[in-house]
Amino acid sequence: MSYTFINGGVTAPQGFTANGVCAGVKAATSAAIAKNAKDDSPAPIPNGKRDLALIACDKPCAAAAIFTKNLVKSDTIYVTQKHLENGVAQAVIVNSGNANACNPDGYEKAEAMAKLAADALGIDETNVIVASTGVIGQPLPLSPIESGVTALKDILSKDGGTNAAEAIMTTDTVKKEWAVQTVLGGKTVTIGGIAKGSGMIHINMGTTLSFVTTDAAISSEMLREALVAAADVSYNMVSVDGDTSTNDTLAILASGYAGNAEITEKNADYDTFLEALTAAFKAVAKQLAADGEGATKLLICNVSGAKNEAAAKTIAKSIICSSLVKAAMFGADANCGRILCAIGYSGADVNVNKIDVAYKSAAGEILVCQNGCGLAFDEAKAEQILLENEIEILVTLGDGDGSAEAYGCDLTYDYVKINGDYRT
């Protein structure tokens, strides 16, 4: 292992500062919904959680991003894609409480957000990444963002990363921030980040937002290659509810301050960087799944012995996405039939007569299916295993050497409560 997790977040790498404030975006959006008011109605006095974050570097950075594959996208994505055509960025502005998606003026509002940040920082507005998350189909109120940016420009700091992590939360119950270090060419390199996501998560990149910074010297082309590779086995293996967001954005900025030889090709330094990035993304993936709306348990599905990696991924994701599996885990019901069913309709080529299934947690491990057939097992022991807050579903096949891991959560009554009145 060539990396080490450290304390910190998006400001841990050299050159980056950040912060988050309560601008009143959430309050203004909620008030507009309640009153069926126009977008230009006066926003209420902010009195709630932070809902506007700003991340900045003191120099232009190599940058890259990947986005949701949902055909319905927030206009923030189109603006960011345009801004990143040259592979350069210097700041990120992101609000929560309003997704700025499916609005006739969404693109103009996203551009306005970028300009507000650029003017405050004294940089080119095309060097600003912009993102939003929250209620879809509701006009984005700009006045609280304008006042929020004014406040943010004076409080950006190395200690403000955790406030930025809080500001991008919607139904999240915990902040997601992380930092990891590795060594490239004798130079210590730091990668840090923040993420949000609790519901509308079936990442296909891919609501989740994640913003990553690093002081590594690496080209924008290699950053994108690393993002795609790391996300494929981490973020894209997460599902909370099967709904792919309109706003999913995973962006990375590299300041180059670490002083390593710039990575411009897939060499040993690239492999080391990718290893650290992937490890961090997998840790975040577990956090996202564990904090699923209403969730009480993190589910980790490990598939081994598949025909190939693609088949293993398909099977693991099918199991994690199954509402019946998720409900069974909530009820601590060791029903292997639901696992087998999810494997059977996954579309992967599987010899169903060679499937073994076991459950594992801090309370122990129990085999419930062998060679595609259910076994007699100790129900009381199985229940104790499934009552833990982190459960592994172990699927062993006899088809090859493909393996994969997927991350999800149980399906609870609270998920329906949260989403039954999400807008209000």
Q: Residue 72's pLDDT is what?
A: 84
- The 10s digit of each residue's pLDDT in 24-82 is 997 777 676 666 555 555 544 455 789 999 999 999 999 999 998 778 889 999 999 99
Residue 55, number of CB atoms within 10 A of its CB: 32
90 pLDDT above the threshold of 70: yes
> Quick one: average pLDDT of 241-245?
58
Q: Residue 239's pLDDT is what?
A: 76
Distance of CA 338 to the CA centre of its chain: 27
Q: Residue 206's pLDDT is what?
A: 42
CATH 3.10.20.340 residue window(s) in the chain: 298-420
CATH 3.60.70.12 residue window(s) in the chain: 3-290
8 pLDDT above the threshold of 80: yes
CATH number, domain 298-420, options 3.90.226.10, 1.10.150.130, 3.30.200.20, 3.10.20.340: 3.10.20.340
- Residue 413: pLDDT band (50, 70, 90) is confident
Token pair belonging to 288: 């996202």
Measured distance CA(20)–CA(55) in Å, rounded: 9
- Residues annotated as catalytic (active site), given as ranges: 207
User: Which CATH code fits 3-290?
Assistant: 3.60.70.12
The model's pTM: 0.87
Greater pLDDT, 393 or 417: 393
Q: Residue 60's pLDDT is what?
A: 98
Q: Residue 33's pLDDT is what?
A: 60
132 pLDDT above the threshold of 60: yes
Residue 347, number of CB atoms within 10 A of its CB: 10
Greater pLDDT, 246 or 237: 237
- The 10s digit of each residue's pLDDT in 325-345 is 999 999 999 999 999 999 999
Q: Residue 273's pLDDT is what?
A: 98
> Quick one: average pLDDT of 344-363?
97
